[in-house]
Amino acid sequence: MEEDKLEHQKKNLIERLGVLLEKKHQLAPLAARIVSTLVMNGQMGVTFDELVNDLCASKSTISTHLENLQTTKKIRYFTKPGDRKRYFVINPDLTLEMIDETVAAWRNEQELQEEILQYKQQRNKIRKENQEPLFNLEFHENLLIFLEESTAAITKLKAQIIKKSDKNELT
């Protein structure tokens, strides 16, 4: 019973993650479900036949999306000795690339928000002494703190991922 409940939860998570990946990374719906299926199956990998069965899609459609996902280096495959099947997994570098994209976007946002804050500070400064400030600067100050702290946290996560992957390559 517990196994059935977990399998149902896994299918629900695959669908929800697939929707997120569609929107965030502009993936086709089935490609997003393939990636989310691989995420939810971990390092053991998923075979072509399992993808066809689990996603209820034609072999040709699955094949086309697998080729595209491999070409864009989002996924890769491995084989097992004595087994002719290919086992598909997420490309370990994908997470690092996604972190880099996120950090770049946050840094661009931070630069823009710093310029906006400077502008508003200057506008507030030239107001007459008895006038209320034109802008409340608290939001921008807090947003800049958030972007700085978030960037630092995700950069730390990236370093941990790299350290762990380097350790795994040595063992």
pTM of the model as a whole: 0.74
Q: What is the pLDDT of residues 96-138, one digit of tens each?
A: 988 998 999 999 999 999 999 999 999 888 877 777 888 889 9
Cα separation, 61 vs 93, in Å, equals 25
With a CB cutoff of 8 Å and minimum separation 6, the contacts of 169 are: none
From residue 85, alpha-carbon distances to 47, 50, 88 in Å are 7, 11, 10
DSSP 127: S
For residue 47, give the nearest of 93, 79, 3 by alpha carbon: 79
- Three-class SS state of 76: strand
Report how far apart the first and last C-alpha atoms of the chain are (Å, whole number).
Answer: 37
Q: What is the pLDDT of residues 41-93, one digit of tens each?
A: 988 899 999 999 999 999 999 999 999 999 999 999 999 999 999 999 999 88
- Three-state SS sequence of 148-165: HHHHHHHHHHHHHHHHHH
CB hemisphere CA count around 102 (13 angstroms): 18
Dihedral angle, C-alpha 93, 83, 67, 88, nearest 10 °: -40
Q: What is the pLDDT of residues 134-171, one digit of tens each?
A: 888 999 899 999 999 999 999 999 999 888 877 665 44
- How many whole angstroms from its chain centre is CA 51? 21
